[in-house]
Structure 1
């Protein structure tokens, strides 16, 4: 979330551009592609919220699209793609965040299918209302699935990414609760750059010509 339609549009465009680079860097490692595409998804998410601002909130298609990405899609997407990209030794322990993410996503998808999502402009923030039953449990499940999978990934770059997401979420939530300003887009941009650098470092090595010796 950003603090205005213009900020959301600018941030979303920039983050999506980082996502395109990230996907290009990961193109030679198919297991990394879904995770490398995360900034692209986050960028589209910000651009959708720019439309929510322009509509002055409400319960239109943009609000529903924003909620679908933010809630069930990311709850399942993040632990699944982290599991896919993680080192072999970490994959067994990542099954737990994936299971939590699948259960959380199922609850969130059911709520979105049976209730109306509304958005309300509150100064420099947007408040979304879904009417979650037992919201605290759902939030805990969401955090365990997303941030938990990153922290358990066994990959230093992804652990750093998880720490940044956790810090960014905490700061953004604190400011949002005060209805002061939405800052998640700034943290999303930083996290997207970190993920892009991760994708670049994990590029597959260029095959050596036959007979060429490896450097000593």
Structure 2
């Protein structure tokens, strides 16, 4: 989420571009593609929110599309993507955030199917409301699925990303709650660059020239 429609559109375009490069970097490594493609999803999310701004919030298709990405899709996508890319020794423990993500995604999908999600422009922020029952439990499951999967990934680059997401989410929530300004798009941009660097680092072993053959 950004602080205006223009900011969301610019950030979304930039993040999507980073995502395209990240996917290209992961070409040839199918297990890395879901995680490398995450910036494409984050960029699309920002672009959709630009439409929410232009529609002055409400309950229209842009609001629903934003909620579908943010609520049931992300908490399932991220643990699945991390599980695919993680080293073999970390995969068993990643089943915990995967299970949390599946349960959270199912609960949020049911809520979206049975309730109306609304968006409200509040100064330089957009507030979304779905009226979730047991919201605290859903939030715990959401963060266990997303941040938890990164922290348990067994990959230093992804662990660093998990720490950044945790800090960025805390700062963004504090500013959003005061209705001062929404800064999640900046965090998403930094995370997308880190994922690009991660995909590039994973590609390097494949790019090394072969050792010369001894005569």
* Equivalent-residue separation in structure 2 for 1:107 and 1:85 (angstroms): 26
The equivalences for 1:1-216 within 5 A come to 1-203=1-203, 205-206=206-207, 212-213=212-213
Deviations 1:62-102 (A, max 9, x none): 00000000011001000011000000000000001000100
Query: How many pairs were matched up?
Result: 213
Can you give the 5+ residue segments of structure 2 that lack an aligned partner in the other structure?
A: none
**Structure 2 Cα separation of the partners of residues 158 and 132 of structure 1:** 30
Q: State the distance in 1 between where 2:102 and 2:175 align.
A: 29
The DSSP-based 3-state class of the residue aligned with 1:196 is: helix
TM-score, length-scaled by structure 1: 0.96
C-alpha distance in 1, partners of 2:201/2:213?
Answer: 23
Deviation, 1:208, is: 5.7
> TM-score if structure 2 supplies the norm length?
0.96
3-state SS of paired residue (1:92): coil
4+ residue runs over 3 A deviation: 206-209, 211-214
Q: Flag structure 1 segments of 5+ consecutive residues without an equivalent.
A: none
Rounded Cα–Cα distance in structure 2 between residues aligned with 1:16 and 1:213: 42
In the alignment, the residues of structure 1 paired with residue 193 and residue 207 of structure 2 have an alpha-carbon distance, to the nearest angstrom, of: 24
Cα distance in 2, alignment partners of residues 104 and 213 from structure 1: 54
